[in-house]
Amino acid sequence: MNKILVFLMSLMLISCNGQETKKPLTNNQKMDRQNLEYITFGGGCFWCVESCFNMLKGVDAAISGYSGGHKPNPTYEEVCTGETGHAEVVQIAYDPKIISYEQLMDVFFFLHDPTQLNRQGNDIGTQYRSVIFYKDEAEKQKAEAALKTSEDSGRWNGKYVTELAKFEKFWPAEQYHQGYYNANPTQPYCSAVVGPKIAKFKKHYGELGMLEADNE
């Protein structure tokens, strides 16, 4: 019995659910510049995804939130039950003159395993599904092309299960989730899971010259 208890506790330490230390955070930039375009997708726990996209040149802001569900204005606790239908997502405001949709998709598929259905590692549930939300038919075709390009590249071994869904509504997550990793780098999940992912991301995309100077 003691071994089982220790095992379960270790899983909690390295899973996103239940790790919401509410430390005051710095606000994200406002997403209201007229030259920006927007994209919304989910690739597991939003703490890592948001942090990485905010380092990219051409990204004005990446905001953690919820999309794809049926309950208005859901809370983090409600989404974590898996009963609202929402996915943890990040909505990105970007300047297409600096960074392209295809480049953003390449980063998206780099940051999570799109062959895992309704999970990322120890984060299990439909709220952690791999999903791209598209605004119209033209964007759906771009998403399909990006998905095929990534799958054909062999970056991940297996068939992609990334969902393509029509965008309807984005609900920003609670303020303490915004910039979560930067405010809580030593929190168990952040140090064990998010930190290594960010280090790998910074090495790869830093070498490609895609990061802001203060993130290289």
In tens, the pLDDT along 116-168 reads 999 999 999 999 999 999 999 999 999 999 999 999 999 999 999 999 999 99
pLDDT reported for residue 33: 65
pLDDT reported for residue 25: 45
Report d(CA 115, CA 3) in Å as an integer: 31
Q: Which one from 16, 45, 48, 80 is the annotated catalytic residue?
A: 45
Q: Are 91 and 40 in contact (CB under 8 A)?
A: yes
Q: Are 153 and 109 in contact (CB under 8 A)?
A: no
Residues in a beta bridge with 43 = 130
Q: Are 171 and 66 in contact (CB under 8 A)?
A: yes
**Burial degree of 8 (CB within 10 A; 0-12, 13-18, 19+):** exposed
The beta strand positions in the chain, using DSSP E, are 37-43, 59-67, 87-94, 119-120, 123-124, 130-134, 163-166, 170-172
* CA angle in degrees (0–180, nearest 5) for 91-21-171: 25
DSSP three-state, residue 41: strand
When pLDDT is averaged across residues 54-64 and rounded to a whole number, the result is: 98
Can 45 be counted among the known catalytic residues? Answer: yes
pLDDT reported for residue 19: 55
5-19, 82-96, 121-135: which range is least confident on average?
5-19
